Amino acid sequence: MNRFADLLDMLAFTPSRNAKLALLQDHFRTVPDPERGYALAAIARDLDIPAVKPAQLRELISARMDAELFGYSYDYVGDLAETIALAWPEKGTARAGRNDAPGLAEVVETLQASSRRDGPKLVEDWLDRLDAPGRYALLKLVTGGFRMGLSGRLIKQALAGFGRVDVNEIEELWHGLEAPYAELFAWLDGSGEKPVNAAAAPFRPVMLSHAIDAGDFDKLDPQDFTAEWKWDGIRVQATSERGVNRLYTRTGDDISAAFPDLVDAIAFDGALDGELLVARPGGDGVETGSFSDLQQRLNRKTVTAKQLCDHPAFFRAYDILQDGLYDLRPKPFLERRARLESFVAGLDPARFDCSAMLDFNTWDELAALRADPPFAVIEGVMIKRKLSPYLPGRPKGEWYKWKRDPFLIDAVLMYAQRGHGKRSGYYSDYTFGVWRDPGELVPVGKAYFGFTDEELLQIDKYVRENTIERFGPVRSVRAGPDKGLVFEVAFEGINRSTRHKSGVAMRFPRISRLRWDKPPGEADRLETLERMIDGAE
Amino acid sequence: MTPRPEDLLIPRREGLYCPPGDFFIDPVRGVDRALVTHGHADHARAGHGHVLATAETLDIMAIRYGADHAGATQPAGLGKEIRIKDVTVTFHPAGHVLGSAQIAVERNGLRIVASGDYKPRPDPTCATFEPVACDVFITEATFALPVFRHPDAGGEIQRLLRSVSRNPDRAHLVGVYSLGKAQRVIRLIRDAGYDKPLYIHGALQKLCDYYESQGIALGDLRPATVESSVKGGFAGAIVLGPPSAFGEKWARRFPDPLISFASGWMQVRARARQRGVELPLVISDHADWDELAETITAVAPGEVWVTHGREEALVRWCEMQGIAAKPLHLVGYEDEGD
């Protein structure tokens, strides 16, 4: 348990992506089976064990310590599992004088073999045998409470790096494998054959595009390309095989459970690439909801009847990868597209349609279409080579995205936070605000990129010279109508938010220009942002 | 008539006051006569008329504030009784930092021990804490919650050294307070067998020199200046400095620094994250929860007064043991030592 606990701690405190990859790979290299496989499953949230409820944990601790002392401790720490892990009395427990702390594999396998009712009793015994980091890992494991900020993609990249294989191979295999992944590790170690994917409806690695540069158009002949709208939903893959229907994100995370309305409608044998949207057929075709409508359905494990009714999930198809027994990926795009149209014609029109093709002869004509999209939920155009096969990853010269211009606002720097790693000595993470009432700035977002190294030095200097308060690594910066630093902030979209004081949340905000010339009093007002939301809805 | 403890020591705005001896213990502002438990800035201030403290604490005050920090100074030997008016005071080791002491105050058969900051576990850089029998024990409560159980400091140093060997391209910046923690962490690193140069921020230099002069060997210490940086500019090096320096321009000389912090507060994850710490090391110069309880049990006082920290939890524990206890509200003490 201790190596797993160490891994969790280090992952939690390590900000850099590369360092996280290194930690995971180090763990896979040094920890034997089945321990490393269970660690992988626990981190990837792929572990199915009977959960222990917070109320049951409270009962365990209240049998061991004074309720008032526990109350003071919980108030201070703020996290139930962490408080219990730290405060669990060690005096007179089995741990004293014995060296038989349970390993991760023992914990997982015992839990899997026992009933839900036995959970608390087992946990109590293990708490007595573990040290504080081990107790913390155990409690997070049994409450399912990992919030590590690790994406499925990152974990698969760690595996790929460890085994020196392509990440697409891992993605393809992933859903056919089960904890503790002995076969997978044997292959990655070089001591076994590549596992055969036994799962029905596997994920197929997706094809991605490059952002187009202004200079690219001269080199590309419009006759070689098709174009369609780029919809502002999330890119997904709908697939079905042997009666198993699945919906995957573009990184291969299985999100079927959150979209039963759509998944039930996957009445075909094959695999489609498309955009997940909230939409329903109306009077003049399909009425497509905004990204914030879609957000009502995202990041949920389960879904209520009301959500299903108010925000129905819809699949706008871009491509077809598999039709029955035929793998269509090597075929040219236009051939796949023709197949796609006839395929989708046979599906439920309340759940599926085809992304429309745009009619253009020159890049200027396409530019005119892009400048005036028919729906606010369109975020640009996609340009695809007519002859392109469907290739996993981001191949060069095949597909391009040409996004609409970002939204821009002028906002005032309010707080700056010290960065990590190479930016440790610099204030590089910025919170910026806009005016609400005269004289009142309200924070609307955070950005930590978009500026050059040279500009970072200038902002850092400004922050140090204009600090009014310090809280740990954060500095509050002078910001008033006459004194302050204005950023031009670019962002891709804006939604209402109940989590933020300002009531708005931006997507992908970044600093696009420093406006040293602009008096902060002339920065944007919150109403401007609210109007942008109204425009998008 | 049995004397009342409240007549012997009583909290005042300046600090803990002894009316029959007319002196203060660890006053937070200038007074005529001060008794000082140890050299941390929240306990030892400049500007007193007369200071009584251990020789080491007086040296440390002189290093920090200049030789003229007080009108007059008087060294107190450990275990030696000193008469102040009709009060007897005795200094006993507190195990917190070099020179730290508990102060026993006695009059007419009533003894109160003001323990200042203390830790009972052994520390290679200072004399070990001694429990002193008394009627009233005044204890700190910096880490007085059951969640604070400091692990073995040697194990924490091993975590640091493992991280250093795992990250040969990065400089480890270890946050340590300049008095006590810095020298203890350096000594522990040496005890773990690490004999490469350690690089220190300028704020640590004088106190490290002083510890050396007192016979505490710290090995090869070098200033963390750009000139002293080896080829590769501190890659793989351990650098120690006050945590406040890590947000300063000083930190820019290090390649992709990995921020660490040696403090009892690092026990709680949210505290570590708030400070942007990547490698929290739970190393404290204060008693943890179990040690507070063990110390009170060993001292077996008639009454416990609890000050600076989480008083309510320790008072509650005393109540559960049937020991009379009350919080003593003293203002102005921070956690400089941790």
**B13 with B131, same domain?**
yes
Choosing from A143, A159, A183, the residue where a domain stops is A143
Average pLDDT, integer, range A284-307: 86
Binary contact (A82, B149; C-beta < 8 A): no
Contact list in A for residue B317 (CB cut-off 8 A) is 69
**B24 with B46, same domain?**
yes
**For residue B202, what are the domain limits?**
153-281
Averaged confidence pLDDT in chain A:
90
Average pLDDT, integer, range A286-298: 87
**A368 with A465, same domain?**
no
Binary contact (B147, A15; C-beta < 8 A): no
Binary contact (B250, A66; C-beta < 8 A): no
Dihedral angle, C-alpha A123, A129, A131, A134, nearest 10 °: -40
Instruction: State yes or no: pLDDT of A7 exceeds 80.
Output: yes
Binary contact (B275, A426; C-beta < 8 A): no
Measured between CB atoms, does A198 come within 8 Å of chain B?
Answer: no
**Closest among B28, B47, B25, B99 to B333, alpha carbons compared:** B28
**A233 with A296, same domain?**
yes
B180 occurs within a structural domain? yes
**A238 with A319, same domain?**
yes
Q: What is the pLDDT of residues B206-225, one digit of tens each?
A: 999 999 999 999 999 999 98
B302 occurs within a structural domain? yes
More confident residue, A530 or A420: A530
A278 occurs within a structural domain? yes
**A121 with A41, same domain?**
yes
Instruction: State yes or no: pLDDT of A396 exceeds 60.
Output: yes
Identify the closest residue of chain A to B173 by CA–CA distance. Answer: A424
Average pLDDT, integer, range B260-281: 91
Q: What is the CATH number of the domain that holds A312?
A: 3.30.470.30
B335 occurs within a structural domain? no
**A455 with A532, same domain?**
yes
**A437 with A398, same domain?**
no
Binary contact (A72, B280; C-beta < 8 A): no
Of B259, B277, B313, the CB nearest to A69: B313
Measured between CB atoms, does A333 come within 8 Å of chain B?
Answer: no
Confidence band (pLDDT; 50, 70, 90) for A59? very high
Evaluate whether A245 touches A348 at the Cβ level (below 8 Å). no
**For residue A352, what are the domain limits?**
210-403
Evaluate whether B39 touches B101 at the Cβ level (below 8 Å). no
Measured between CB atoms, does A2 come within 8 Å of chain B?
Answer: no
**B291 with B276, same domain?**
no
More confident residue, A343 or A500: A343
**N-term to C-term CA, chain A:** 50
Query: Which helix (H) or strand (E) is A273 found in, with range?
Result: strand A270-282
Cα(B61)–Cα(A159) distance, integer angstroms: 56
A371 occurs within a structural domain? yes
Average pLDDT, integer, range A399-428: 90
Q: What is the CATH number of the domain that holds B55?
A: 3.60.15.10
A:463-492 residues touching chain B, CB 8 A cutoff: 472-473
**A228 with A347, same domain?**
yes
Cα(A1)–Cα(B20) distance, integer angstroms: 58
Residue A259, amino acid: F
B63 occurs within a structural domain? yes
Q: What is the pLDDT of residues B21-73, one digit of tens each?
A: 999 999 999 999 999 999 999 999 999 999 999 999 999 999 999 999 999 99
- Number of domains composing chain A: 3
**A392 with A415, same domain?**
no
A163 occurs within a structural domain? no
Instruction: State yes or no: pLDDT of B270 exceeds 50.
Output: yes
**B175 with B297, same domain?**
no
Measured between CB atoms, does A494 come within 8 Å of chain B?
Answer: no
**B173 with B232, same domain?**
yes
**A316 with A461, same domain?**
no
Confidence band (pLDDT; 50, 70, 90) for A368? very high
Binary contact (B149, A132; C-beta < 8 A): yes
Contact list in A for residue B290 (CB cut-off 8 A) is 91
B337 occurs within a structural domain? no
Instruction: State yes or no: pLDDT of A53 exceeds 60.
Output: yes
Best of A9, A65, A76 to mutate (most B CBs within 10 Å, chain B)? A76
**A352 with A258, same domain?**
yes
pLDDT for B336 equals 47
**A434 with A390, same domain?**
no
Q: What is the CATH number of the domain that holds A61?
A: 1.10.3260.10
Choosing from A121, A143, A165, the residue where a domain stops is A143
Dihedral angle, C-alpha A347, A348, A350, A352, nearest 10 °: -20
Q: Is B138 helix (H, G, I), strand (E, B) or coil?
A: strand
CB pairs under 8 A between A and B: 98
**A417 with A435, same domain?**
yes
- Number of domains composing chain B: 2
Binary contact (B274, A77; C-beta < 8 A): no
**B21 with B92, same domain?**
yes
The sign one gets for the Cα dihedral B132, B135, B136, B141 is positive
State residue A185 phi and psi, 5-degree precision: -65, -35
Best of A6, A17, A69 to mutate (most B CBs within 10 Å, chain B)? A69
What crossing angle do the helices spanning A80-87 and A54-62 adopt, rounded to 10°?
Answer: 20
Name the interface residues of B facing A (CB cutoff 8 Å).
145-149, 151, 166-167, 173, 246-252, 254-259, 267-270, 272-280, 290, 310, 312-313, 316-317, 320
**Closest among B160, B210, B157 to B188, alpha carbons compared:** B157
A199 occurs within a structural domain? no
Q: Is A371 helix (H, G, I), strand (E, B) or coil?
A: helix
Cα(A425)–Cα(A422) distance, integer angstroms: 8
A429 occurs within a structural domain? yes
**B228 with B290, same domain?**
no
The reported pTM is: 0.79
A:77-116 residues touching chain B, CB 8 A cutoff: 77-79, 82-83, 86-87, 89-91
Binary contact (B274, A73; C-beta < 8 A): no
- Token pair for residue A109? 């396998």
**B163 with B119, same domain?**
no
Choosing from A127, A143, A159, the residue where a domain stops is A143
A325 occurs within a structural domain? yes
Contact list in B for residue A26 (CB cut-off 8 A) is 166
Contact list in A for residue B272 (CB cut-off 8 A) is 13
Q: What is the CATH number of the domain that holds A450?
A: 2.40.50.140
Q: What is the pLDDT of residues B226-262, one digit of tens each?
A: 766 555 678 899 999 998 888 788 888 887 899 999 9
